[in-house]
Amino acid sequence: QPKSNMSTQKAVQISRTGGTEVLEINQIPIPKPQPGHILVKAAYAGVNFIDTYFRTGLYPAPLPFTLGSEGSGTVEAVGEGVTKYKPGEHVVYYGSGSYTEYLNVPEKAISHIPEGLKLEDGAAILIQGLTALTMLRESYEVKKGDTILIHAAAGGTGLVLVQLAKALGATVIATASSAEKLELARQHGADYLVNYSGGEDEWVKEVLGHTKDGEGVEAVYDGVGKATFEGDLKVTKRKGSLISFGNASGAVDPFRINRLGDKNLKLLRPRLFGYVATQEEFDHYTQELFGYIENNQLKVNIHKIYPLEDIVQAHKDLEGRVTTGKLVLKV
């Protein structure tokens, strides 16, 4: 049982979908530890673009719904059958409903925080780090010497993609909407910088100009979605891979698969949870991810830590394209 005497806790919830006006801070019961779960007292929650999709209804969720997808904190208690975790230990985890003070996390979605990693950095890195890593390993396996394109490269996922792609030996073309954002991508290892706010014709030409004989890139990593998808088809090399993994500008329009035949392209639409579905997969990729941090090949970039009460501002900033790196809530 939680040590505090209080039986309720704060949680950011929605009871209808919409703009930031639908965000509510409610009191909900503190849960009891469930079998196979770890009850965590949260310190921080990561803010991810996916949280805005649940808020707007782009991704449907049962209402009322507690937002948030990951966090870090301290083990408060463990459920039946859990032996690897003890009260007081620091942990990072992913799981629905992390914009709250206490939550139950299944054992296959939690890890001890590595020595030397701060709790706020733990909450900042798990989802975006695992997303970037699994896509670079499995959606298209990046090899030394490949040239790849990373869109929204100064964003949370983008900056991790850039750093890990460099660690794996790729040449990285990075896009973003401003010179400041591109400079940040450069500082994290990007080789070529393209401002895509000038429109598709322009960025497509620039990207192709950075590839061998103008033939295009081996792979495109695109979390922007609707606004960049058509251009992606143009800059992906024959037999290349187009990995469309998000909808920051809106969902990609329906697409005739025959069009892939023009260049025998591979089109993927991966979700992280399809790559880290089992305990083995989660442990494997989490350990690999933490290894890059320990080896100084991956830096965690926190844009800002917001108090939980400022959740409206956090969502506004993320959707308003004014952030770089990761947004974190102090719970």
What is the token pair recorded at 56?
């707007």
Instruction: Report which of 277, 325, 330 is spatially closest to residue 159, judged by C-alpha positions.
Output: 325
Task: Pick the closer one to ligand NDP by CB: 50 or 190.
Answer: 50
CB of 176 to ligand NDP, least distance (A): 3
To the nearest whole angstrom, how small is the minimum distance from the Cβ of residue 214 to ligand NDP? 24
Residue 165: partners with Cβ closer than 8 Å, 6 or more residues away:
136, 142, 148, 150, 172, 189
Strand 8-14's sheet: what is its strand order?
A: 24-29, 8-14, 65-66
Closest separation in Å from C-beta 215 to ligand NDP? 25
Angstrom distance (rounded) from CA 129 to CA 122: 10
Find all residues with CB under 8 Å of 201, minimum gap 6, and list them.
Answer: none
Supply the minimum distance, in Å, between the C-beta of residue 271 and ligand NDP.
Answer: 4
Q: Which is nearer to ligand NDP, 9 or 157 (CB)?
A: 157
* 110, 171, 247 from 229: Cα distances, Å: 34, 21, 10
Closer to ligand NDP at the Cβ: 17 or 26? 17
User: Which residues partner with 38 through β-bridges?
Assistant: 78, 105
Q: Which is nearer to ligand NDP, 87 or 179 (CB)?
A: 179
Sign of CA dihedral 303, 305, 308, 312: negative
CB of 39 or CB of 150, closer to ligand NDP: 150
By beta-carbon proximity to ligand NDP, the closer residue of 9 and 72 is: 72
d(C-alpha 100, C-alpha 12), whole Å: 7
For the bound state, the minimum distance from the C-beta of residue 321 to ligand NDP, rounded and expressed in Å, comes to 4
Q: Which residues bind ligand NDP (CB under 6 A)?
A: 48-50, 127-128, 131, 152, 154-158, 176-177, 181, 223-224, 227, 245-249, 270-272, 318-319, 321, 323
Residue with Cβ nearer ligand NDP (66 or 134)? 134
CA distance 93 to 103: 10
Residues 144 and 167: their CA atoms lie apart, in Å, by 9
Residue 205 CB, nearest distance to ligand NDP (Å)? 18
Q: How far is the CB of 284 from ligand NDP (least distance, A)?
A: 17
